[in-house]
Each structure stands twice: as C-alpha cells, then as structure tokens.
Structure 1
C-alpha cells in the first residue's frame, strides 16, 4: 500500500510546484508587461490620421502597403501635401527698407537664438557678423531682394553668382503652386534597438542612412533638415524664415526649419508639451516645452522619451537651434 502511495505523492508534489510556478509567472505579467518593465516603455500609439488638416484639400491621407527600414512589411499613411499650410499665412521674409519694423520681415536663426529680420537687423549685419562686406541696402535704405522666380532659383543655388551678393532671398508661394510632396509614415511605429542618423544637411546625421526629413506637421508641411546657413551666409545672402519657421525653395516647396508654435499644436490635458506632428518613424512629435515652460530632463540622444499616455515620443529642439530631433529610434518607410 505504501509503495502505491509514494508515486502518487510524488506526482501531486510536482503538480503543486508546477501550479505555483504558473501562478507566479502570471503574477509577473500584467497586460503583456513583466515586472521590472514599465508600461510606458511598451505602450505603442498608432498614428492618428484624423489629426491632419485635410478639410481644405491641401493634405490627403491614404493607407498604402509599405516596407520599413528593418524589413517589416506593414501599412503606412501616405501623406500628400501641397505647399500651402491651412493653418497660417506664409511670409513675410524680407523687409523692404531698413526702417521697417519686425512685422515686415521674418526671422533668422543664429547660435541658438531667434532674431527678427527687421530693417535694423539688415542694417546692422556688418556689425553682427563682424564683416564689412555686408551691406544689403542702397542709399535710400531700400533692401536688395530677389524679385522673380529666376532670381529665387539663382540665388538659392549653392554656386550662387556674385550678382546676388548682399541680396535677401525671398521665394514666393506663387512659384510653387503646382508642387506637391509625398511622405510615408508607418501607422504603427516599430521601435528599434539602435537609432538611425538622418541623411541630408548638417549635424547630426551628415552622411547618415536615414531620411533627411524629420517629420510632418499636421498641416502637411515637412519638418526639414537643418538649413545650410553657412553656405547661405558664405555667399553673402540671407534667406530668412517666416515667423512659423518656414521658407520656400523651388524643389522642396514651403518647409520648416524651426518649430515656433505657429503651426497647429494640440494641447495635452496633463500639461505635457503640445503635440505638433509626427516623426518619419510614426512616433509623435511634441513641442520643446510643457505648459509650465519646462523641457523634459530625461530625453535620449534623439530627443525622445516615454510616458504612460503617449508611449515613446520626441520633443523638438529650441527654435534657434535650426533643428528638430537628432535621429530616429523607430523604423522608417523606405
């Protein structure tokens, strides 16, 4: 009789231990997250296509199949936008005369600061840059400004001729009325274990493998690579941005180089920084500062972090930095 009980007791003991082990494993996992992980690290927020300003036809959003940089086959939103933001006027960029106030011109970004391009700024450029070659106005104080589409094309050329030296470069919306841009953004972001540097102009990401664009605003305007300000200034030209941080070239259309708070911002109920668009990997883009005027202190090298409401997301850099985010932590559409 005892011999028969021993195997039975052994089986019961094993089952008891196994059940306890199962129970403990289950207790360690809540909503797919093990103890030690945080919910904000695993939360993934899909792109919300309804946030884009599509009502006036300047932006269209459709779903298309796509392949991401990590080989993932998925669906993306295809965003097609013209060069006319629905939520604000474009310009002005160049003032007419050195007597003009700030409302007659745009802004310039230098050493992390934002400067009004008013008449006084133009008049003072020789002192500002400690270079007597700068004099962008005539004896009447009228500022030399590009006036035609050909002027725009020639003055924005990397090999700009001396005839445009000391010109304020102002490319107008009427030059790009037929231009559209198309962007692909994964609907469901896919976080990567390593970041991807951007391609295009300026640090970081010179020669990187990623896209040059940083993201897209809700009005369909792209948050672009840093403006090549050294090349612009090296030709003794100035290509100001408007108060929204944007300007025009004939290939890219209207695009942003700074987030100044003019384009659509979606306030957050918890006082978090307002949302301003999506990065090219599908993670949310948020303003630099929160409702209290403070910047997060735990941003990673790409300027991203996570919280329980928004999951992983980015915060753009200060407007004067000529930058938005430093790299992508998610897979992007090829």
Structure 2
C-alpha cells in the first residue's frame, strides 16, 4: 500500500469558503507522483460567542490542572463540558455558569457571559443582514481581554493587522510595558487577574502572519532607543523566516508600505483573522471591548484581503528593507516621551522618510 504525505501550501485559508490546495505525493514516486487536489473541509457555522466560550473553558480548566470530569463535583458531566470546549453545543445556561464559577469566574461575570449565547432553539437567519448572533462584543472588562488572549493563543492560524501599535505577539517587554501603562488596572491587579494565562499551553503548531502598516514603525513609544531595539527584534524575526522559509509553523512579519493599495481592513487600527476550533472568525481587538464576528460576508472579505496582503510582492526581503529604514529614521535623542493617545498627531516622528511625509 502506498503511503501518502500531504503538504498544505498556503498558510491561511480565509473564511473556510474556498477549498485548500493540497499537494499529495505518493511515497517513492518523486515529482512525477505529485498531484494537486482540492479539499473543502466541513466548516459548519458556530456563533462567535460559542467559539470564545469553548476556548475560554479549556484555558480555565488547563490553568487549574483539572481533568474534564472534575466538573462532576458541581453536577455537570465531563462529556458535556467537552462538547462545550469544542463549541459543538451550548445549552442550559445555568450549567455553563455553574462550571465557570467552579473554575473561579465571578458569578456576575459568568451569568453575563452565558447571556450572550443564542437561545437553545435559535434558528440562524439567512437574510442579507445576517443574524444578530454573528457578532459578539465582549464587554467583560479584564475578563474579556483574558478571553481574547486565550483565543489568540489557541488559534491554529492567525493573520493580524496593526496600524497604531504593534500587536502583543511581536512586542518586546519594554515596548509592551510602555504601551500598557498606566492601563485600565494597576500592574499588581493585572498580574493577579491574568496570572492563570501563564499556565495555559498555547497551540504549538500555530502559524501567524503579522501585517504592520508602515506608519506604526514611526509612532513614538517610549524613546528612540526602545524603538530601535523593538525594530531590531522584528528584523530578527524576519531573518529567521529568510533562513527557514519552508517552516510549517512560526511567525511571519510583513510591512505594508505606505501608499500600498487600500484593503477593507485598513479602516480600523487592528483586526485579525483567526482559525480556532476548526472555524474561522474575525477579531477586532481595538476599542473599548473586543469584537468577534463569524459567518458573514464581511468576515470573508476581510479574511481574503488579509491573506492577499500577506502574499504581497517583495516578501521578507522587502519587509527587512523597510524595517532597517525605520530603525535608521529613529530620532537621535533618547529622551523618553510621555505616552499619549494612539491617534494623537504628536506621536508621529518628524523624521519620516520623504515618501511618508
């Protein structure tokens, strides 16, 4: 019997609506045995709130070192919790809230979260306007941001875009520390509330593409020395990709040059297309609360545009050139500047390259 080895070509297939391209090579046949097949995986719709809950439940359980059947102590079977974690089914909100409380989530937050799910017998609207449960705005405060981080770590595929601040995935500790202060909570409170995330295992096979608007490299964060170190860190990531372009997983960074053709995701500061629990979703982490969307035409368009931008001409070599240019354009002074709102004009350095002026 011939063995088959499959290799997925593209790093991200947006929306789950068009088939993945897969090379299937028969063992021992060499190039002559290679053929291209089209695979259209089952991408059944899941409301975004259900996807977020599934990831959140598993992250909470892992952080506590609990097995699935531990919830039997509060009268909920491990089989049912497993279905929730896989976003296959969410029913009986009181049982879901009971498990959340068992995992340490405050009672009011647990009930607020389960109140966002579609009713058990809800039938999704197929109208042009979509269904009201296609969009989930998580107003859970610090708990919402913890859920966002859990989704980000659990995803198998991430293509994210940033225009105002570098995303967390590529920040140095110094850059992140400056951006997060003064922050919505004190450093001590934030460390206490998010410490459990450090015990959660991320997806070891995650593939991530980070798209940076070129202007984000010229926005003052901290001081020039901090920015030079941050940009050099980005250069190192790009160098890793140049050395190992065939890596099946890892990080890719692309800088979208100023003046690049407009994309539908460029009307906001940050957006990410993620694949989690086998389903595709768009996340918008900017603003007062994270917003998740699934199953809509907008999700398909944004996902397609993000993937198209990731394969822009020039590849990692062009991105490296833009990063080196940004590092050279850092102000000579290393005096720290006071952090300000991301949209403040004073954030942009006066030393922009001529093309950016």
More strand by share: 1
Larger Rg belongs to = 1
